[in-house]
Amino acid sequence: MALSTIKSDLSLSQLLCIQIEREIVEGKLLPGDKLDEEVLAARLKASRTPVREALRALASVGLVHIQPRIGATVNKPTVSEVIELFEVVAEMEAAAARLVCVRASDPEIAKIVAQHKSCEDQARSGTADSYFDANTQFHNMIWSAAGNHVLEDQIVLLNRRLSPYRRFVTFKPGRQEEAVAEHAQIADAIQNRNSVVAVVAMREHVTILGSDVIQLARNLRL
Amino acid sequence: MALSTIKSDLSLSQLLCIQIEREIVEGKLLPGDKLDEEVLAARLKASRTPVREALRALASVGLVHIQPRIGATVNKPTVSEVIELFEVVAEMEAAAARLVCVRASDPEIAKIVAQHKSCEDQARSGTADSYFDANTQFHNMIWSAAGNHVLEDQIVLLNRRLSPYRRFVTFKPGRQEEAVAEHAQIADAIQNRNSVVAVVAMREHVTILGSDVIQLARNLRL
DNA sequence: TTTATACATGATGTATACAAAATTTAGTTT
DNA sequence: AAACTAAATTTTGTATACATCATGTATAAA
């Protein structure tokens, strides 16, 4: 109920933006696919105007690639671009972890540590989805506890951009256990407010995730 | 000639985007100012459509604030938001400096060190503008030598967002000399490929710049 | 057969027209 | 005089029409 109320408040172009983004993230629209304004408008039952706005909004996120006078396609980053994206996320999340060590409140840190325990629980006895959610929460809490909305927004934006590729990691067996072990290092460092260790551990954690994504994508010949 | 040729290749919405951004950066349009689509269209001799596109493009950069169904205004960040912006730039430029230490080529590093010398020269015997350009070059070279286009783009974007406020620093006497001294530490660390020192020095350097901007803006009652 | 040119087609960029919502203003009531 | 209501106005959101440029095709020339 509340959700549909929220949705009806959104403009058509915003709804289209959400819809197209979903199709890209879910792999229904693949990297390189042409995004013809008229075709999309016809399929999504709207006119070209809001479709155009949606495409340009997604281009600003980096999910869509627009060539002037030629048109829009689903962004198709090269492997090295994806590597660079993960590298930037790694640096920014590391920065967030540092700021948490420097100035988060004790209760905020306690919540992060508690969320790590929750990740452990879900990895041991939960579903893949429930672990995924717990993991997302763990990271979100760190971004948020860093006390810098600009940093948080940037990290969220970069993750939106990476989400079409993240899902591949689901397929890697044993990754959950590794991730939990890495989280433990991060949570420990944060609890001790050891920013140097937290930075290195977080950077390493995200870098490993990136490497796995690249490797899995390669194996799937993408 | 080449410049006008390039300009004529740009679409009207792109030209409007550049023009409106310039007016914001130059302070002709002030934070909080209403950006009425029809008024802008009439003044810039275009229709609402490309004006709308330009405003939304600038919103994605963070220079314009759009409230659905209400309209666009020049973004008016709070003081704490500007502080956060500088904090993120500091972290990202620090990350760039680190990556330069880790993997830039010797010639690239030599060019950065040389550019620092050029900054020293301009600070001693150049104009405010020529120093500003040399300083910009110094930072650009570091972003670029980090070998990560995504990181570079992010830093450029954040700096676009900050440029309306950066110009205040021009008014601070003695800042050039301080900045050059800080650059010296950064250049030294990079030359020695000492990433830990480079990170701290760069972060400190940008943080000081941010503090100065905030303080000057306060003194000018902005 | 290959290449070049001209035309036809189709898509993007821009302008205008219409719909819907927010704001303002005038009028009324307390 | 203050506050609330309702109509009028203004502005944003969307649809449609037109202009401009890119692409594909067919024809002709080398």
| pLDDT at B4 (0 to 100) | 40
Q: Which residues pair with A74 in a beta bridge?
A: A64
CA torsion, points A184, A187, A193, A199, in degrees to nearest 10? 80
* Burial class of B179 by CB neighbour count within 10 A (0 to 12, 13 to 18, 19+): buried
Task: Note the pLDDT of residue A1.
Answer: 36
Mean pLDDT along residues A172-178: 90
- Cβ of residue A188 near strand C, that is under 7 Å? no
pLDDT higher than 80, residue B104: yes
Mean pLDDT over A188-203 rounds to: 98
| One domain for residues B40 and B139 | no
- Of B74, B92, B110, the residue at which a domain comes to its end is B74
A47 touches chain B (CB under 8 A): no
Q: Which of A179, A188, A178 is nearest to A112 (CA)?
A: A188
Do B183 and B143 belong together in one domain?
A: yes
Q: Which of the nucleotides in strand C have any atom less than 7 Å away from a protein CB atom?
A: 11-17, 21-23
In this structure, the answer to whether residues B40 and B125 fall within a common structural domain is no
Phi, psi angles (nearest 5°) of residue B58: -70, -30
What does the alpha-carbon distance between residue A134 and residue A173 come to, in Å, rounded to a whole number? 18
Closest CB from A11, A60, A88 relative to B154: A88
Q: At what angle do helices A48-61 and A149-166 cross, to 10 degrees?
A: 100
Contact in structure between A13 and A54 (CB atoms under 8 Å): yes
Q: Worst-scoring range by mean pLDDT, A140-154, B6-20, B22-36, B178-192? A: B6-20
B150 in A contact zone (CB under 8 Å): yes
Does residue A5 register a pLDDT over 50?
A: no
**What region does A110 belong to: left with phi over 0, alpha with psi -120 to 50, or beta?**
alpha
Across the interface, of A49, A57, A84, the residue whose CB is closest to B150 is A84
Last residue of a domain, which of A10, A43, A74? A74
For the cut 70, the answer to whether the pLDDT of residue B21 exceeds it is yes
- Residue B5's pLDDT is 44
A85 and A107 belong to one structural domain: yes
- What's the rounded Cα separation, in Å, for the pair B107 and B98? 17
Give every CB contact of residue A121 below 8 A, 6+ residues apart in sequence.
A134
- Structure confidence at residue B1 as a pLDDT band (50, 70, 90): very low
The answer to whether the CB atoms of A149 and B81 lie below 8 A apart is yes
pLDDT at A167: 83
The domain of A160 spans 79-219
Residue-level length of chain A: 222
Question: CA angle B175-B181-B187, nearest 5°?
Answer: 130
Same domain assignment for residues A143 and A69: no
CB pairs under 8 A between A and B: 68
Tell whether the model's pLDDT for residue A6 goes beyond 70: no
Distance from the Cα of B84 to chain A's closest Cα (Å) equals 6
The reply to whether B136 and B108 lie within a common domain is yes
Q: Is the pLDDT of residue A199 over 70?
A: yes
CATH assignment at residue B45:
1.10.10.10
B201 and B183 in a common domain: yes
| pLDDT band, very low/low/confident/very high, at A217 (cuts 50, 70, 90) | confident
pLDDT of A69:
96
A197 and A133 in a common domain: yes
CA distance A209 to B176: 42
Does B204 contact A at CB distance below 8 Å? no
Q: How far is B12 from chain A (nearest CA, A)?
A: 11
Task: For A64, list phi and psi in degrees, rounded to 5.
Answer: -125, 145
The Cα B31–Cα B73 span in angstroms is 7
Q: Which residues of B touch A84 (CB under 8 A)?
A: 148-151
Same domain, B61 and B114: no
Domain shared by B107 and B177, yes or no: yes
Do B135 and B197 fall into the same domain? yes
Query: Strand A34-35 vs strand A71-74: parallel, antiparallel, or unpaired?
Result: antiparallel
Q: What digits encode the pLDDT tens for the residues A9-62?
A: 899 999 999 999 999 999 999 999 999 999 999 999 999 999 999 999 999 999
pLDDT tens digits, B122-144: 999 999 899 999 999 999 999 99
Q: Of A14 and A5, which is predicted with more confidence?
A: A14
Number of domains in chain B: 2
A46 touches strand D (CB under 7 A): yes
Of B44, B74, B104, at which residue does a domain stop? B74
* pLDDT higher than 60, residue B2: no
Residue nearest the C1' of C22 (CA based): B70
Substitution target from B67, B85, B88 for chain A, most A beta carbons within 10 A: B88
Residue B3 has what pLDDT?
A: 38
**Mean pLDDT across chain B, nearest whole number?**
94
Q: Does pLDDT of A116 surpass 70?
A: yes
B143-171 pLDDT, tens digit each = 999 999 999 999 999 999 999 998 888 77
Q: Are residues A89 and A47 in the same domain?
A: no
Res B95 pLDDT > 90: yes
Residues of chain B with C-beta less than 8 angstroms from the C-beta of A91: 91-92, 95, 98, 151
Q: What is the CATH number of the domain that holds A138?
A: 1.20.120.530
ipTM above 0.95, yes or no: no
Q: What is the mean predicted confidence (pLDDT) over A190-217?
A: 96
Q: How confident is the model at residue B217 (pLDDT cuts 50, 70, 90)?
A: confident
